[in-house]
Structure 1
Amino acid sequence: MRQLFFLSIFLLVLFGCKKAEAISEEAYAIQTVQMPAKAENVAYDKKADPSSPQPPPPPRIDQQIEQKIIKEATLKFETDNLESSFSQIQKAVSASKARIINDSEGKDFATVFRNLTIKVPSQNFDRFINDVSKGVSYFEVKNISAEDVTEQYIDLTSRLKTKKKLEERYLEILKKANKVSEILEIEEQISTIREEIEAKEGQLKYLESRVSESTVTIEFYKTIPEKEGVKISYGSKLWNAVKSGFYTLSDLLISLLSAWPFVILFVVLAYFIRKRFKRRKKE
């Protein structure tokens, strides 16, 4: 009995060692096999394991559209010296790389004035207004406006691209056309589209020119001082009235002398008319 007991224990130990050895060999084989890394598995593992590092998000592309602003200004102020104010404006024009496109001056019953229309690069608009405003105590008129035409600019650009693509399609169709009637019809369509493209391009250029250059209108004037402190006597007023009447009479005589052919013709006509009336009375 004792021998059978030791024999059974020996067999159990022997089978246990073989099983442990088989398990260790299987574990070693599993560890040495590398599974192919697939994108799907990686994604799945990363979702399953929140502690794993996440890949950087794709760069976000922001399409920033540059604003299209039309700036305009109207300025009016009084000055003691027109030439000095004009010289200051000229310096501001030169510093801001602007240009004077209109310059007019005049005089009314109480003031001497000067009007300027100036085109200023939009990026120098604020600097120009500040330079002109130096030394001005107050403005009678100071109106500055800014109109956002970005939407209009985008709309024109989009329509222009669409028309150009349509023109390209018609040109491709024209290459494949065989009949004269088809060719003429397609050419007519291309001509119409070309006119629309040129019109859109003209509108776009005009809009760009207004955006790139701001318009500034400046009016500055000087008040004419009234003559005071000189009192005229009554006799002087009468003498001035006599002289004024004499000058008026002289002007009238000169006017009559300049019209002497008409005077002679009138005299001749009056003479013949009078002579004819005398003959009728005698008869």
Structure 2
Amino acid sequence: MRSTKQRRLAGLLLALAATGGLTACGSASDSGSAADMRGERPAAAPEAASTGSYGTSGGSGGSGGSDKAATGEKPQQAAQVGQPGVDRKLVRTATIVLVTPDVRDSAERARAIVVATGGYTGQADVGSRSATMTLYVPSDKLDDTLGKLSAPELGKEESRSQAAEDVTEQIVDVESRIQTQRASLERVRALLGRAQQISEIVQLESEVTRREADLESLLKRRERLAGSVAMSTVTLRLSRDSAPAPVADDDTLLGALAGGWKAFVDTTSFVVRAVALVLPFAVVLGVPAYLLWRRWRRSARPAQAQPVAQEPVTQES
């Protein structure tokens, strides 16, 4: 009886230890997910605590080594990024403003140039007087493409600006977190394979689902960073030069006559347009008004008082 009670007590203690390890795992995962949403790097201590909990559930031999690896992760990453031989990962962007007599033609030429380099066109708003295009160009061909886009055949370059953001540390950080998340997920799956109680199985399955979602988020972030590094973004703005060329003043007699004739033609054209604008209203409203006035005049004539003949005045004697 005593040995049976001791075995039950040992099993209960083991279950409590496993439950404590799962709680620590959940806390570490929640902190890592929150850090992912804020775009921050998670601290090494929660991951080390989570690793230590797994060691408690599956054995205590790997806890010290995991703590040392988590503690030395940041210095190793910083040293790796800071090395001169490390290939820097840059996200490059550029903006070009052109003035062209034909906006649509220049927009088509710009699109053809980008497609020829292996790029593609994103959002585009092209009109007859202005256009704004978002172009995606391979980063290794950005400088050559900018030279072709600012060629005189497309228009006169008004301004150009470029920017570059170094994301090397972000990429190294994401890669390290992906490796850590995959190892953590494998450990939880191993615990799930050894679990026997229903409560443990439910908690471990929930933990596996959460860590798989975190891993998927990290993979998508790595994909976005890789795409931003591989393809540079070029914003092209086109506008039509509609300003008339300045006309030199002509002080001669012919110049004065030409100016007077132009003023006469402009005045006559304005008067004709004004008459044409008022004529429909005059026809629609003036004709009925004239007919009403004529009718009123005819009806008013019989009503006029006839002049009264004056009686002769007699003088009294």
Q: TM-score, normalised by structure 1?
A: 0.58
**How large is the RMSD of aligned CA atoms in angstroms?**
3.0
The aligned amino acid for 1:129 is L
How far the C-alpha of 1:246 sits from its partner, in A, is 4.1
Q: Distance in 1 between matches of 2:84 and 2:272?
A: 85
2:239 maps to what in 1? 221
Q: Which residue of 1 aligns with 2:110?
A: 89
With over 3 angstroms needed to count, the CA separation of the structure-2 counterparts of 1:86 and 1:137, relative to structure 1, is closer
Consecutive unaligned residues of structure 1, counting only runs of 5 or more, are 1-61, 254-283
Pick the aligned partner of 1:208 from 197, 216, 226: 226
What corresponds to 2:47 in structure 1?
none
- Corresponding residue for residue 13 of structure 2: none
Q: CA deviation at 1:233?
A: 4.3
Q: Which runs of 5+ in 2 are unaligned?
A: 1-82, 248-258, 286-317
- Which amino acid is 1:194 matched to? E
Alignment of 1:46-125 (within 5 A): 64-82=85-103, 85-86=106-107, 88-107=109-128, 112-125=129-142
* Aligned mate of 1:129, from 115, 131, 146: 146
State the one-letter code of the partner of 2:207: Q
Alignment of 1:268-283 (within 5 A): none
Q: Residues 92 and 188 from structure 1, CA distance in 2 versus in 1: closer, same or farther, beyond 3 angstroms?
A: same
Cα pair 1:75 1:218 within 8 Å, conserved: yes
Q: How does 1:163-242 map to 2 (within 5 A)?
A: 163-224=181-242, 226=244, 230-231=262-263, 232-242=265-275
SS of residue matched to 1:196 = helix
Equivalent residues of 1:156, 1:200 under 8 A apart = yes
Mapped contact 1:96–1:127 kept (Cα < 8 A):
no
What's the CA shift string for 1:79-120, capped at 9, x where partnerless? Answer: 23435534542442243111122332225xxxx122221111
Is 1:155 the counterpart of 2:155 in the alignment?
Answer: no
Distance 1:189 1:102, change over 3 A: same
Highest Rg: 1 or 2? 1
Q: 1:172 to 1:63 in 2, by over 3 A?
A: farther
Return the letter of the residue paired with 1:66.
D
Q: Give the superposition deviation at 1:179.
A: 0.6
2-structure distance, mates of 1:63, 1:166: 32
- 1:200 counterpart SS class: helix
Conserved in 1, the CA contact under 8 Å of 2:104 and 2:126?
Answer: no
CA shift, 1:218, in A, is: 0.7
Specify the SS of the correspondent of 1:140. Answer: strand
Find the aligned partners of 1:233 and 1:206 in 2 and give their Cα distance: 61
Please tell me whether the aligned partners of residues 69 and 148 of structure 1 are also in contact (alpha carbons under 8 angstroms).
yes
Contact 2:104–2:127 (8 Å) recurs in 1: no
Alpha-carbon distance change, 236 to 150 in structure 1, aligned in 2, over 3 angstroms: same
State how many pairs are aligned.
187
- SS of 1:223's partner is coil
Deviations 1:136-168 (A, max 9, x none): 785323111111011111111111111111000
CA drift at 1:245: 3.1
Which residue identity does 1:65 align to in structure 2? V
**2: CA distance between counterparts of 1:63 and 1:186?**
44
TM-score, with structure 2 as normaliser: 0.52
CA drift of 1:217 comes to: 1.1
Work out which structure has the larger RCO, using CA pairs closer than 8 Å and 6 or more positions apart in sequence.
Answer: 1
CA distance in 1, matches of 2:208, 2:235: 43
SS class of match (2:127): strand
1:139 counterpart SS class: strand
Q: CA offsets per residue over residues 1-34 of structure 1, 9 Å max, x none?
A: xxxxxxxxxxxxxxxxxxxxxxxxxxxxxxxxxx
How many percent of aligned residue pairs carry the same amino acid? 25
When residues 106 and 87 of structure 1 are mapped into structure 2, their CA distance, relative to the original with a 3 A threshold, is closer
Residue in 2 that maps onto 1:31: none
State whether residues 98 and 150 of structure 2, in contact with CA within 8 Å, keep that contact through their aligned partners in structure 1: no
- Report the equivalent of 1:143: 161
